[in-house]
Every structure is written in structure tokens, then in C-alpha cells.
Amino acid sequence: MKQKHNLRFTVILIAILLAMAPSGLAQKKKNKKKDKEKAVPVFVDGEAQVVPGFDTPDEWIRHDLWVETEFDTDGDGKPDRMHVDVTRPFQTDTDSLKLPVIYISSPYFSGVAADSKEFYWDVRHELNTVPPPHKHPAPIKRRGTRPIISTSHTKTWIPRGYIVVHSSSPGTGLSDGSPTVGGDNESLAPKAVIDWLCGRAKGYTERDGKEEVKAYWSTGKVGMTGTSYNGTLPLAAATTGVEGLEAIIPISPNTSYYHYYRSNGLVRHPGGYLGEDVDVLYDFIHSGDESKRAYSDSIVRDGEMARGQDRVTGDYNDFWAGRDYLNDMEPMKAALLMSHGFNDWNVMPEHSLRIYEAAKAKGIPAQIYYHQNGHGGPPPMKMMNRWFTRYLFGVENGVENDAKAWIVREHDKRANPTAYEDYPNPEASDVVLYLKAGAPGQGELSTVPSENQGTETLVDNFSFSGTTLAKAEFTNHRLIYVTPKLTKEIHISGKARITIKLASSKPAANLSVWLVSLPWTERRKAKITENLITRGWADPQNYRSLTESEPLVPGEFYEMTFDLQPDDQIIPAGQQIGLMIFSSDRDFTLWPDPGTELTIDLDATKLVIPVVGGNEVLNAAIGE
């Protein structure tokens, strides 16, 4: 009997425990859900932290909509609407949580055209002549499915307490309108999205629908970021002065399409894209409504662009002025953290510097981050986090008191920049270097001027690359002048500048200038950037004016001054600094028939380089 009683008691106890188990499990899940619902942004040392309750991608809310703009650029008589997607933590619904927004806009999200040279301009023709026409690619087949336009930046920022929003630029994806490659609609489109995020513009559930969508989950604080074209659009939006755009982090942005496709009057292409121009880029990104493409092609590409881009003279005109964001800086007030590479020969490093300097002059909070690599490359996450935390969450982390400039030193990792008071380095001052004859070998660069040297002449030939010319011991296709070997390292910081007096044997000529570090590195994996300090290009026909060129009188001398690209580089002891002057730069300029002669007046030509410590430091390093 006792054994049966114990068995009966055990069975009852197990039954009770089993009955309680589901209830306990349910309570545990309920508590877990409750903890998630109570998730709020957390900050440590002035940075937004990853919050487990937000780091739940499977539970994020995703939806899309169309924001109505104030323009009509596809000719249908209705305001263009921009396609927008939203990704946000579920707590924005369950707990009525409002959060700031990280916003990324792009013309690339829905696909691009084939990147084939057959759609580029032919560069093999004489200067100041009408180039032969080029082909246009087939219409782009839009990629992607609703409601997701892109997933970029979501894993970075949503776990830290932000909402991430994307939009397709005008004339791309499911957005209305026409691509204009820097036209006003590319500034007003992201402005409209920000206005919607702040409750000032209307959003709709469908492209042609009337059911409205409200951004009830937005605090009205917006930050923008992106790389290349995606980095240009944050600046474009900021130049409208739109309320609510508090901070931007452009990465390698194109801040002037003239500076992208021209240089001091010269038709010059971005590195890696020889023959590209504004109309080529238009074709590359135009992934919008195919039924409206004929209108856009006619009005924008074959109309405004064909008239304005002017591949014959390369002069600066109203078309280019309207695509230069430096001209639109007056309304801007968003805090600026700029990022760029000193060896970015696609979007040159000057693009970021010119806007950074203008922002500082306006009193806008601004910092700049430069690394030693090429195109792209964001600032370290810590810098971006502090920037957005300060200006979107309003956390007083003192970021505005940090160093203004952050430079990644040679051979350091990009996440480990060196802080400087500013860029260019305030301790740098201009040092003037003069030319001494030496063609067809090497001449000299010296801080001591010479007199009555006469001239030296080079013969243009696009067949030879700049690298080949810089490495050559003797050649009449370039002139090169070098310093003595450095006995101590020198630090160059800022923009070098050349004043050159020259004559051409023809009415038009390319002019290219490289500043190099010699001897040339011959390691198997060596990159050109290990020896190329900086470079620049100019059209001698624009010696007097950037907006109006004039044919050169063969044999007559002209003087012009122009800047090379900004740089910050430490040249080690044992190297020589060389100035190379040549004509056609095979990878960047047009290719006229070889044979044009450029004659340089040695006494009237000089190079100015910004050296930390100035004349005293450089003279000590070269023994002068």
C-alpha cells in the first residue's frame, strides 16, 4: 500500500508540473517580448550602443511609399514622386517609440546600364574639334522587388537606435522624373523626403495613389551618408537648407561635375573612365519608367546636356555652374563630416576640400577625414557614431571640439587616423622651387632661382603613359626636374601650385603636370600611388579666363597658374621630389595626333609646395 501511495503521489506531482510548464514558458516569452518593447537608445562615452532589443532583423518593420516633390521633370504634368523604403525597429509601433533617421539616396539602387566603352566618347581626335557621336545603351531593366530598395546601412544603424530610409533618385527605379546628373531636382528630391520625415510633405502608399502615409515614428532629426554619387546627394540635400537635416557624412562625393569631367578648361576624364561625360553617366543610371524615357532623352540628355557639356572648348559655363554645389552653399547648415582618399583619381581629393573650407567659413561644424587610398573609404565607425549621436540624438559628447582634421598616415590602417589641428596643416607654409635645365634627362628643382637659362621643349605623344615617362632616364616626351636626395623626411600638406610660361606649336594643347617621388618603386605589387605625390591638368587656352578660352598663337608664350590636387604626404629621406611636365596624359585627357611641341620658359616657371616647417625644413633636407 505504501508503494502504491508513493507512485500515485509522483504521478499527481508530474501532472501538476506539466500543467504549469506551458504557462511558465509563455510567461518567459511574454517577459522577453516586454523587454524588447522597452528597448531604448543607449549611449556610452558619447556613442550610440547596439541594443539587443533593436538588433532583431527578423522583426524589423519594412515598408515602402512614394513622396511627392515640388517638381515635374518627366513631362507628365504631375509632381514627380520619389520611391522610398523604410526599415525600423518594431518598437516604433508597439511602444510608440520615435527615433532619428539615417537616410541614403542613390541613382544606383535599381540597377545600371552595361559599362561598355562603346557607350563612351571616342578620345582619339584633335583638340577643339567636334568629337564623333557615341552609342547609347539599351534601356535598363529595373532590379529589386518591393518593399526593399536597399538594405545598406541597416545592420549598422538600426541596432544602435536609428531608423534607416532609402530613396531612388529621380528617373531611377520606381521614382518619377528624369536623371539630370547634378541638376536641381537631385537636390530637391531628397529635400522632399526629409520634409516628409518631418511632417511637411505628403507620402503615399502607391505611385499614383491617394492613401497617405505618415512618418509618425520619426523624431524629425535626419542624417545622410553615402559614397561617391550616394555621397554627393547628402551635400545636394544640405545645400537646400532643409529643416531637419542635422548632419551629413559624404564619402568621396562629387561636389562639382565640372571638376569631375574638366580641369582648368581642359576636357579631362575621371580615372578609369576615359571618354565618360555627363550624358554617358545619364545613360548609365536611367533605370526609371521606360515609357517616359523618350521625353527625358530628348529634353535632358539630347537637349540641355548636349548644349551645355561642351566637349570642344572645355570652358566653364552656366551648365557647369548649375552643377557645382559650391555655388549653392549659402542655405546649408547641416554639420559636415567629410571623408576622402588622397589617391582617389576618380573623384579627385579637391572635391571634399573645397566644400569643407566653405563650410568652415560659414561657421558650420565641420571635420575632414583623409586616407591614403583611392575611391571610397568611410571614416572610422567611432567618428561616424559620435557625429550622428551628437547631432541626431543631441547627446553632448563634445565632438564639435575634437580635432578638425584626421589624416591616415602612410602604412597606417584607415581605422587609425592621426589627429591634426586642421587641414591643410596650419604649420605648413609655401616653399618656392625653381627649374634648372636638364632635358632630355633630368633637370633640377632648387629653392635658389637661376637666370638666363632659356627654354626646353617636349614633344607630345599620348602613346606613353605618365608612369613610363616618369621612369624614363631620357625622353623628349616630357620634362622633369628633381630635388637633391632628401637627407630628412619632409611633410607636404595642402595644394601644390605651378606657374608655367609656355609656348605651343599648335593653337591647342593638353598640359599635364605630375609631382612625383623618385626613384620609382619597382616592387611587384607597387602601386602608382607610392610614387605619385599629386597631379593636375590645364588648358593653356584658358590662361586668361576659365569661362572663355582663346586659341594659342603658335610660338607665342603664355603664362598661367593653377593648383594641383591637395595632398598630405610624408616623403621619406633618400627620395627626390620631381616635377614632371608633359602634354597628353594617356589615362585622363584626349588623344590628339602626336607631335605638338610645348616649349617651357625655365626662368619664368616655378613650383610652390606646402611644406610643414616651410623653407627652413626643406632647405635642411636638400642641403640648400
- Judge contact between 477 and 510, C-beta under 8 A: no
85, 195, 315, 344: which one is catalytic?
344
3-state secondary structure of 196: helix
Which amino acid type is present at position 539?
Answer: D
Q: Is 228 a catalytic residue?
A: yes
Say if residues 571 and 517 touch (Cβ distance below 8 Å).
Answer: yes
How many other CB atoms sit within 10 Å of the CB of residue 60?
Answer: 19
Task: List strand residue ranges (DSSP E) for 349-404, in order.
Answer: 366-371
Please give the DSSP secondary-structure letter assigned to residue 589.
B
Q: Quick one: DSSP state of residue 307?
A: H
C-alpha cell, 472: 624614363
Indicate the Cα dihedral angle 230, 232, 235, 236, nearest 10°: -100
Cα–Cα dist 541/406, whole Å: 38
DSSP state at residue 212: E
The whole-angstrom separation of Cα 310 and Cα 265 is 11
Do residues 229 and 498 lie in contact, with contact meaning Cβ atoms separated by under 8 Å? Answer: no
C-alpha closest to that of 277 among 258, 253, 302: 258
The residue among 424, 278, 254, 258 whose CA lies nearest residue 351 is 254
* Position 177, amino acid: G
321, 176 Cβ separation under 8 angstroms: no
Closest CA to 406 of 431, 430, 387, 429: 387
CA distance 376 to 369: 12
β-strand pairing of 405-407 with 418-420? antiparallel
Distance CA 367, CA 249 (A): 10
**Residues contacting 8, CB < 8 A, separation 6+:** none
Rounded CA separation 534/512 (Å) = 11
Phi then psi dihedrals of residue 382, to 5 deg:
-60, -40
Residue 164: strand, helix, or coil: strand
Amino acid at 498: I
Closest-CA residue to 259 (of 248, 249, 269, 251): 269
Which phi-psi region, left, alpha or beta, contains residue 457 (left: φ > 0; alpha: ψ -120 to 50)? beta
What is the dihedral sign for C-alpha 326, 328, 331, 332?
A: negative
Confirm whether 375 is a catalytic residue: yes
Task: Round the CA-based radius of gyration of the chain to a whole number and report it.
Answer: 29
- Please state the φ and ψ torsions of residue 320, each to the nearest 5 degrees: -70, -35
Pick the catalytic residue from 228, 263, 339, 512. 228
Q: What is the amino acid identity at position 524?
A: R
Cα separation, 193 vs 203, whole angstroms:
9
In the set 375, 517, 567, 584, the catalytic residue is 375
Q: Which residues are catalytic?
A: 228, 344, 375
